[in-house]
Amino acid sequence: MSIIPEEEYILRGADGSMVLHKGEEPFQMEPDNFCVDYAVDLDRYVVYHCSNVSNINEEPDSLPSICTTIIYIIYPIGIFTSIIFLIITLFVYAYIPELRNLHGKCLLCHIASLLTAYVFLVLVQVLGFVIPGDACHAAAFVIYFAFLSTFLWLNIMCIDMCIAFRSATTVPLEVLPI
């Protein structure tokens, strides 16, 4: 995502599109390919392009940009690696009876919700272009709900730890040798 200079575009109010003057011929971008935001430090509105529009005049066989590589290859690999280790952690905490105390059960719920969010996130990231609109919206709701529940379980674990440490007995300072 990069800023498009002011002299290279014209925003059309009728249909919300943008005409980009890059190269010989103007190129029209649909509203879902760019974002308009107010930059406080520049004291003006700035236009960001969200797709690979910078390669309009290049050959179609050119190498993909580094952003495309990171977004569509490296992120899914990283999330898939996280999914593998989350599954291992889930099985370890579910299998060992000593770990099935209150904190372990909270951690199991936290891992399950994080695992759900990551699985759907990878599916949308990798198969996003083939998933129909309604299924994509449903996956977005599942991702949103799973991340919300992940942070809920994190808060519950923090409260559990706070209660556990608060109830621990403290030694008065007069007893400690100084």
* Band (175; pLDDT cuts 50, 70, 90): low
- The pLDDT, as a whole number, for residue 58 is 45
Residues 61-80 have a mean pLDDT of: 72
- The pLDDT, as a whole number, for residue 49 is 64
Q: Is 124 exposed, middle or buried (0-12, 13-18, 19+ CB in 10 A)?
A: middle
Residue pair 21/12 in contact by the 8 Å Cβ criterion:
no
Q: What is the pLDDT of residues 116-168, one digit of tens each?
A: 999 999 888 888 778 888 888 999 999 999 999 999 999 999 998 888 888 77
- The pLDDT, as a whole number, for residue 34 is 72
Q: Which of 64, 69, 72 is nearest to 121 (CA)?
A: 72
- The pLDDT, as a whole number, for residue 53 is 43
* Band (91; pLDDT cuts 50, 70, 90): very high
- The pLDDT, as a whole number, for residue 46 is 76
Q: Compute the distance between CA of residue 48 and CA of residue 43 in angstroms, rounded to an integer.
A: 16
Question: Which of residues 174 and 129 earns the better pLDDT score?
Answer: 129
- The pLDDT, as a whole number, for residue 60 is 42
Q: What is the pLDDT of residues 29-69, one digit of tens each?
A: 777 777 777 777 777 777 776 654 444 444 444 445 666 77
Q: Which helix (H) or strand (E) holds 165?
A: helix 133-166
The domains of the chain are located at: 2-55, 66-166
Q: Compute the distance between CA of residue 149 and CA of residue 123 in angstroms, rounded to an integer.
A: 19
- The pLDDT, as a whole number, for residue 128 is 76
Question: Which of residues 176 and 92 earns the better pLDDT score?
Answer: 92
